[in-house]
Amino acid sequence: MESLSSKVLLFGVSCLVLLAVQRYLEYKRIVQAIQAPSHSTTLLSVRSVLGNILPRIRGITRGRMATWVDKHIQYAKSGWDGVIQVNMWPKPNATLFLADAAAIKEVTTARARFPKPVKVYRALSFFGGNIVASEGEDWKRYRKIAAPTFNDRNNRLIWDETTRIILALFDDVWGSQDTVILDHALTITLPIALFVLSAAAFGRRISWTDEEGIPPNHQMSFKVAIHEVSLGCLVKVLVPEWAMGLTAHLRRVRLAFEELNIYMLEMISQRRNAEKKEERHDLLTNLLEASADDLTFNDRDLTGNIFIFLLAGHETTAHTLCYTFALLALYQDEQEILFQHIKSILADGRIPTYEEMPLFTQSMAVFNETLRMFPPVLGIPKYSAEDTRLIISNDAGEKRDFGLPQGTNITLDVAGLHYNPRYWKDPEEFRPARFLDPEWPRDAFLPFSAGPRACIGRKFFETEGIAILTLMISRYKIEIKEEPEFARETFAERKARVLTSKPGLTMTPVRVPLVFKRR
Tens of pLDDT along 268-293?
Answer: 888 888 777 777 888 988 998 888 88
**Angle, in degrees to the nearest 10, between helices 152-168 and 186-197:** 140
Binding residues: 455
pLDDT for res 235 = 87
pLDDT for res 310 = 85
Residue 159 contacts residue 357 (beta carbons within 8 Å): yes
Residues 490-501 have a mean pLDDT of 96
C-alpha 519 chain-centroid distance: 33
Helix (H, G, I), strand (E, B) or coil at 426: coil
Neighbours of 425 (CB within 10 A): 9
| 160 φ/ψ angles, rounded to the nearest 5 degrees | -65, -40
Tens of pLDDT along 48-57?
Answer: 777 777 788 8
Residues 480-507 have a mean pLDDT of 93
Q: Please say if the pLDDT value at position 369 is more than 70.
A: yes
Q: Is 310 exposed, middle or buried (0-12, 13-18, 19+ CB in 10 A)?
A: buried
**Angle, in degrees to the nearest 10, between helices 299-330 and 186-197:** 150
**Angle, in degrees to the nearest 10, between helices 458-475 and 299-330:** 40
Q: Kindly report whether the global pTM for this prediction surpasses the value 0.75.
A: yes
Sequence-separated (6 or more) residues with CB below 8 Å from residue 398: none
Q: Please say if the pLDDT value at position 19 is more than 70.
A: yes
Neighbours of 283 (CB within 10 A): 27
pLDDT for res 211 = 73
Q: How confident is the model at residue 88 (pLDDT cuts 50, 70, 90)?
A: confident
**Helix or strand (DSSP H, E) at 71:** none
Rg (CA), the chain: 25
With a pLDDT cut of 90, the percent of the chain lying above it is 58
Residues 100-113 have a mean pLDDT of 95
CA dist list (Å): 337 to 329, 332, 361, 363:
13, 9, 12, 10
Binding residues for heme: 455
Among the ranges given (86-90, 195-199, 496-500), the one the predictor scored with the smallest mean pLDDT: 86-90
Residues 298-305 have a mean pLDDT of 90
Tens of pLDDT along 399-437?
Answer: 999 999 999 999 999 999 999 999 999 999 999 999 999
Sequence-separated (6 or more) residues with CB below 8 Å from residue 304: 125, 126, 127, 128, 129, 130, 133
Q: Please say if the pLDDT value at position 1 is more than 60.
A: no
Domains of the chain, earliest start first: 29-124+381-417 (no CATH), 140-376+447-518 (1.10.630.10)
Neighbours of 108 (CB within 10 A): 20
**Helix or strand (DSSP H, E) at 83:** strand 82-89
Residue 127 contacts residue 157 (beta carbons within 8 Å): no
Residues 221-242 have a mean pLDDT of 86
CA 312 to CA 121: how far, in whole Å?
Answer: 13
Among the ranges given (16-25, 89-98, 157-166, 393-402), the one the predictor scored with the smallest mean pLDDT: 16-25
CA 42 to CA 361: how far, in whole Å?
Answer: 45
Residues 311-336 have a mean pLDDT of 94
Residues 38-48 have a mean pLDDT of 81
Question: Which amino acid appears at position 29 of this protein?
Answer: R
> Could you tell me how many residues make up the chain?
519
